[in-house]
A and B are shown apart, each in its own frame.
Chain A
Amino acid sequence: MVNGKRVLIIIPALNESGSIGDVVREVRGELPGVDVLVVDDGSTDRTHAVAAAAGALVARLPYNLGVGGAMRLGYRYAYEHDYDVAIQIDADGQHDPRYVPKLVDLLDDTDLVIGARFAGEGDYNVRGPRRWAMVMLSAVLSRIARTKLTDTTSGFRAANRRIIEMFARWYPVEYLGDTVETLVHTARRGYKIRQVPVAMRRRMAGTPSHSPAKAMIYLGRAFAVLTLALIRR
């Protein structure tokens, strides 16, 4: 329970055995009374065992579905077990669970709250084509959502019951769709989105899934996904 609400923390994880244990322990330490669901997305390491040992519920997918696929499973779990709030957190320790109560509080009059880097707190720098992609996404999505969004691809989000219900039925599995397309879809249906500044920490272990070489491709895909999201219903 956080402020009287039943909260489920959903952590999508792919080969994060180096950090997942500490992340789960930190979440449970900082937020007593919340449930933690780790969705192990076909990891080839001991992610599931480490997460379970740290006290998380673990759902193991038989093969890799991507973050979007893992998250829909998480939202379905939240929906079927009647949670009031579902919060997505990265498995690499970059998100600080101490922001969770702040996110949950905002859900009183917002449907989807995004924990955003670059919004004043902490230091987190991105340059080059990745930066341009982010600027483009922020500009377009801020207009659609009619609120300032500076970090549209953030994997730190809190959803209320109405959004959980929607995401349990519909959640894109495509790369970038899980962040960008869900925002367009949510805003278009009249749900309220807001961002909260959060400080990002460094990865605890492992390697990020993006390399600088992929930055240009990322920009192209961001553009394609955004265009698609806009023409789609």
Chain B
Amino acid sequence: MKLTLVTGLTGLILLATIIELLRRRQLREKYGMLWLGVLVIVIPLALFPRLLDNVAGMLGVASGVSLVLFLGIVFLLLVCVHLSWEVSALEEETRTLAEDFALLRAEIDAERAARNELVSHDG
């Protein structure tokens, strides 16, 4: 009973945190939806940890709780992979930005040099 209270409360606090972050526009829609989806699955499990016992039995896992732990770790791994993927995309974008910036600077410098040239010829 006590355990249910702890897990259930944790789930609810997480839910409230995510909703508040979304409300303040600190989380992009795609991540917000992901975490809300996760919580919709996790909170019932937190309140009734034995919910998955039947499924666990069918898969040959000793108890529903271990199954949840296993699935949880798999899920976290997937999230990590996804984040690495996002970071790679971001790095590619900053690289492009830096190149664009350098190209622009080169153009401006060339123009300024050309202008100075003109001025010194005039004078």
Q: Interface size for chain B: under 10, 10 to 19, 20 to 34, or 35 or more residues?
A: 10 to 19
Main secondary structure of the interface of B (DSSP, over half): helix
B33 interfacial contact with A, CB 8 Å: yes
Contacts of A233 on B, CB cut-off 8 Å?
23-25
The residues in B between 5 and 32 inclusive whose CB is less than 8 angstroms from any CB of A are 19, 22-25, 28-30, 32
Task: Quote the shortest CB–CB distance from B99 to chain A (angstroms).
Answer: 8
Complex interface bits, A160-180 against B, C-beta within 8 A gives 1, otherwise 0: 000000000000001001000
A127 interfacial contact with B, CB 8 Å: no
| Cα–Cα, bound, A174→B93 (Å) | 17
B66 interfacial contact with A, CB 8 Å: no
| Cα–Cα, bound, A233→B25 (Å) | 8
A140 interfacial contact with B, CB 8 Å: no
Chosen A-B contacts, 26 in total, with CB atoms closer than 8 Å, are A62-B93, A62-B96, A62-B97, A62-B99, A62-B100, A63-B93, A63-B96, A174-B28, A174-B29, A174-B30, A177-B29, A224-B29, A224-B33, A225-B29, A228-B22, A228-B29, A228-B32, A231-B19, A231-B22, A231-B23, A232-B22, A232-B23, A232-B25, A233-B23, A233-B24, A233-B25
Q: Which residues of A contact B (CB under 8 A)?
A: 62-63, 174, 177, 224-225, 228, 231-233
